[in-house]
Amino acid sequence: MPRDSKSPLIQKIARQAYATFRGFDASAVGTDQAFLDKQNELIELVTAVRAADLKIAPRQSQAGSKAELASPPVTYMHICETDAFSMGVFLLRSGASIPLHDHPGMNGVLKVLYGKVSVTCFDKLEGGRGARGEPPPTQSAAAARRSVGEYSEDSGPCLLTPLRHNLHQIDAVEGPAAFLDILAPPYDPDDGRDCHYYKVLQATGAGGPDGDPKERRDEEEEKEKEEVMWLLEIPQPEDFWCGGEPYRGPAVSV
Ligand SMILES: [Fe+2]
C-alpha cells in the first residue's frame, strides 16, 4: 500500500483497518501471513495515536459532583462504520466500568488515549469444563480463563480475536479514561454478532471482577495473571448505560 504522509493519523488508521479486516476469515487467521502483515501495520499506527490526534481533551475528575453523577458512566463517540469494521471512542468517567461482555466472531483493537484502564479478559474454554475437567456449577455457566492487563496512553493496543481475549471488562483506574475502539466486523445482531453480558460466578482468587479494585490497581502494568473461572450470561447490568457524544476530530472516510 502506498505510504500516505498527509492524511490525519485517524484517517490512516481507518484505511488500514479496512484493508486488514475486509473479507476477514476467522479460520485462516493463524496461517494467513498477508493478514498478519496488515494487522501489524494497523497496530503500529494505532500505537502512535493520542487524544490530541482526535481533538479530545482529557477530562478532569469531578468525582461525586452533581454534574458527574447526572452524566452517563460511559459515553461513546462514533467515528465511522463499514461492513469490515466500526471505530469510535469510549470515554469513562472516574471509577466507571464497562461490564464483562463478549464480541462473538469479532476482532478488537483497544488503544488508551488518556488515563489508565484495567482490562480483564477471558477466553472461553472448550467444552465448558474447568481447568481440571470438572463440570460447571450450573447448566448455563461456561468456563473461562482470565487474564488482567493495565494500559495507559503509552501502552500498545490491547487486542482481542474471535478466540483469544474475546470477553472483557474494562475499568477506569485512578480517574477518567478514554480509549479508541476498533471492532471487526462490527456488532450485528442480525448476523449472529450481538453483545452479551456475563457475571463471574466463582472467583478462584482475589483481584477478579468481583474482587477488590485496589488489588487490581496494585498489579504491574500489562502483567498477566491467569485463572480459570465460571461465567454466567446475565441481562445488561442496570448501573451501566452508555451515552453518546459527537466526534469532533479529523473527518474520516473509507
Ligand atoms: Fe468490548
CA of 22 to the centre of ligand 1 (A): 20
CA of 102 to the centre of ligand 1 (A): 6
Residue 89 to residues 39, 146, 160, 201, Cα–Cα distance (Å): 20, 25, 17, 30
**Grid coordinates in use for 223?**
502483567
Helix (H) / strand (E) element for 108: namely strand 107-124
d(CA 122, CA 102): 9
CA of 99 to the centre of ligand 1 (A): 9
Domain range annotation of the chain? 51-238
Tally Cβ neighbours within 10 Å of residue 191: 11
pTM of the model: 0.85
CA of 149 to the centre of ligand 1 (A): 14
Query: Helix, strand, or coil here: 54?
Result: helix
Fold of 51-238: Jelly Rolls (2.60.120)
CA of 110 to the centre of ligand 1 (A): 8
* Partner residues linked to 147 by β-bridges: 121
CA of 6 to the centre of ligand 1 (A): 31
Per-position pLDDT tens, the chain of length 254: 555 678 999 999 999 999 999 988 777 666 788 899 999 999 999 999 999 999 999 887 776 677 666 789 999 999 999 999 999 999 999 999 999 999 999 999 999 999 999 999 999 887 767 767 777 777 777 888 888 999 999 999 999 999 899 999 999 999 999 999 999 999 999 999 999 999 998 655 433 334 444 444 444 444 455 678 888 999 999 989 999 999 999 999 99
CA of 124 to the centre of ligand 1 (A): 15
Burial class (CB within 10 angstroms; exposed 0-12, middle 13-18, buried 19+) of 217: middle
